[in-house]
Amino acid sequence: MLTAIGEELAADFPNAEQLPAQSKKLEETWERSQRDFQLAHDSIRSHLSAKKQLAASISHLEARRAEIQINLGRFEQLEDVYRSDIERLGAIEEAGFLLALGGDKPCPLCGAPPSEHRQVHGIEEIEKARDAANSEVQKIKRQSIDLSSTIEQLTNEGRTIEVQLSELDKELTRIENLLSDLAPAADAAKRQLEESQSVRDHVRNGLALLEQRLSLQKRRDELAALKPARKVEKPRLGVPSTAVHDFAQKVSDVLGEWQFPGKRQVSFDEGTYDLRIDGKNRKDNGKGVRAITHSAFKVALLLFCRERNLPHPGFLVLDTPLLTYRDPLHSKQGPLAADEKSLSNTSLKDFFFDHLSRSAANGQFIVVENIDLPVGIDKLANVETFAGDPRTGRAGLFHPPRHTMKTDPKE
């Protein structure tokens, strides 16, 4: 374990002794970047709020301007109606006046004197019609005056709205220009924050390795200080050969269920305390093949214990058992070995999940994997996806705190 940690430190942290000082500086840089980003984010958010309010005010004024224009058009039509009515009533009043003037003269048709006219009440009716027309004219003129006042008020309000809209448009343009100027700075602050956080996490990982190495060295020294046992010999497992053989056959059955390539002849090597598959030691295979055969060992052990009523916790946690299906260009495990390439060209992963689903009555299987899952996996298992980013789903095994800072300046 110390050797593995030393190799990782040498590869990723050539100057490991400088990590504590780097960590302190990076924490300060990260906090400063976080403050800069928060200031840029708050500034953009306040300007976006102001822009939203301006847009709402402009929309309201434009709606009122359209309403005024419609009313002015209707009132102009009403003015035309008033003028037409006044002209019509004036004609009626003038005609009555002319008729009344001729009431005390001889009839133009027969020459009879006025004293001989029998339809005297006709003059009275004409006078009444004149009075009614004159009264209606005065009423319409008063209404016309009120209408003119209303038209004048609406016209003045329309001019005021035009001035307000012009000012609001200028303010909206100013805020939009400010947002355009602030966006690059906010993006730069975000990139700086992400970069400093990435470097900080990398250094934290190095510090964790240093602490782990120190702990292991302390434990190793403690173990070295103990008195050695009198007899140095390999432990005696005390397992009957028949049980070992039966267990090896169970591993072979599991590999068969998964369609593992080859004859799947499994035996247990008591010298290495490990499996031999088709005459080859398990440890001599590539990483991906070792991962799947290691998982087969665990699954077979659970099934073996269940079939014989032997104690077992009843659950398994399999960490990246399908490593052979990794992307060799982006994986830290490096390129695929020959046996891994052969295995990756099979449909083992489909049979793997199908077999675990059918064996679920014997125990619970928890698989932690990074590969693309087979189609229809939701029908076989409960799938929980860890996106690594709290904005796109569940970030990881542990849920993030309830109050998290938003990182999108446009929110």
pLDDT at 363 over 60: yes
Q: How far is CA 77 from CA 82, 90, 150, in A?
A: 9, 20, 14
Of residues 365 and 370, the one with the higher pLDDT is: 365
Residue 407 lies in a domain: no
Is 329 found in the same domain as 187?
Answer: no
CA pair distance 266, 304, nearest whole angstrom = 15
Q: Within 13 Å, how many C-alpha atoms sit on residue 142's CB side? A: 5
pLDDT of residue 112: 61
Is 186 found in the same domain as 145?
Answer: yes
| 195-218: average pLDDT | 83
Domain count, the chain: 2
pLDDT of residue 97: 57
Of residues 260 and 85, the one with the higher pLDDT is: 260
Residue 212 lies in a domain: yes
**CA-wise closest residue to 276 among 251, 298, 259:** 251
pLDDT of residue 121: 45
pLDDT of residue 315: 94
pLDDT of residue 411: 40
Residue 384 lies in a domain: no
pLDDT of residue 18: 77
State the burial class of residue 267 (Cβ atoms within 10 Å of its Cβ: 0-12, 13-18, 19+).
Answer: middle
Is 141 found in the same domain as 72?
Answer: yes
3-state SS string over 252-263? HHHHHHCCCCCC
- Band the pLDDT of 387: cuts 50, 70, 90: confident
CA pair distance 38, 49, nearest whole angstrom = 16
Pairing of strands 315-319, 364-368: parallel
Question: Each residue of 60-111: pLDDT tens digit?
Answer: 988 888 888 888 788 778 777 777 777 776 666 666 555 555 555 565 556 6
pLDDT at 203 over 50: yes
- Band the pLDDT of 270: cuts 50, 70, 90: confident
pLDDT of residue 96: 59
| 258-274: average pLDDT | 87
Residue 391 lies in a domain: no
- Band the pLDDT of 410: cuts 50, 70, 90: very low
Is 212 found in the same domain as 100?
Answer: yes
Q: Which amino acid is at 382?
A: N
The pTM of this model reads: 0.41
Is 276 found in the same domain as 210?
Answer: no
Phi, psi values for residue 318, rounded to 5°: -105, 115
Q: How far is CA 211 from CA 53, 138, 157, in A?
A: 55, 103, 76
Last residue of a domain, one of 197, 223, 249: 223
Is 160 found in the same domain as 258?
Answer: no
pLDDT of residue 104: 57
What is the extent of the structural domain holding 302? Answer: 241-379
The winner for highest mean pLDDT among 10-19, 85-94, 397-406 is 10-19
Last residue of a domain, one of 166, 189, 223: 223
Q: In this structure, are residues 273 and 235 in contact, taking their beta carbons and an 8 Å threshold? A: no
Strands across the sheet containing 280-281 = 266-269, 274-277, 280-281
Q: Which amino acid is at 216?
A: L
Is 168 found in the same domain as 48?
Answer: yes
CA pair distance 119, 380, nearest whole angstrom = 111
- Band the pLDDT of 116: cuts 50, 70, 90: low
Residue 50 lies in a domain: yes
Residue 233 lies in a domain: no
SS3 381: coil
Is 271 found in the same domain as 355?
Answer: yes
pLDDT at 221 over 80: yes
Residue 410 lies in a domain: no
Is 178 found in the same domain as 35?
Answer: yes
Q: How far is CA 368 from CA 318, 319, 324, 396, in A?
A: 6, 5, 14, 12
pLDDT of residue 304: 94
- Band the pLDDT of 367: cuts 50, 70, 90: very high
- Band the pLDDT of 301: cuts 50, 70, 90: very high
Q: Within 13 Å, how many C-alpha atoms sit on residue 337's CB side? A: 12
Residue 182 lies in a domain: yes
Question: What CATH number is associated with residue 341?
Answer: 3.40.50
Phi, psi values for residue 399, rounded to 5°: -70, 145
**CA-wise closest residue to 116 among 125, 129, 135, 103:** 103
Residue 230 DSSP label: S
Across 57-71, 119-133, 206-220, least confident range: 119-133
Across 50-59, 298-307, 322-331, least confident range: 322-331
pLDDT at 256 over 50: yes
Is 32 found in the same domain as 96?
Answer: yes
Of residues 299 and 97, the one with the higher pLDDT is: 299
pLDDT of residue 127: 64
| 340-345: average pLDDT | 82
Is 286 found in the same domain as 206?
Answer: no
pLDDT at 312 over 90: yes
Pairing of strands 280-281, 315-319: unpaired
Is 199 found in the same domain as 94?
Answer: yes
| 279-296: average pLDDT | 89
Q: Which neighbouring-strand residues pair with 365?
A: 316
Long-range contacts of 380-388 (CB under 8 A, 24+ apart): 380/353, 380/354, 380/356, 381/353, 381/356, 381/357
Phi, psi values for residue 190, rounded to 5°: -65, -45
Average pLDDT for the chain: 79
SS3 280: strand
Structure token pair of residue 86: 């006044």
Question: What CATH number is associated with residue 52?
Answer: 1.10.287
332-364: burial string, b at 16+ Cβ within 10 Å, e else: ebeebbebbeebbeeebbbbbbbbbeebeebbe
Last residue of a domain, one of 192, 223, 254: 223
Return the number of other C-beta atoms located less than 10 Å from residue 53's C-beta: 11
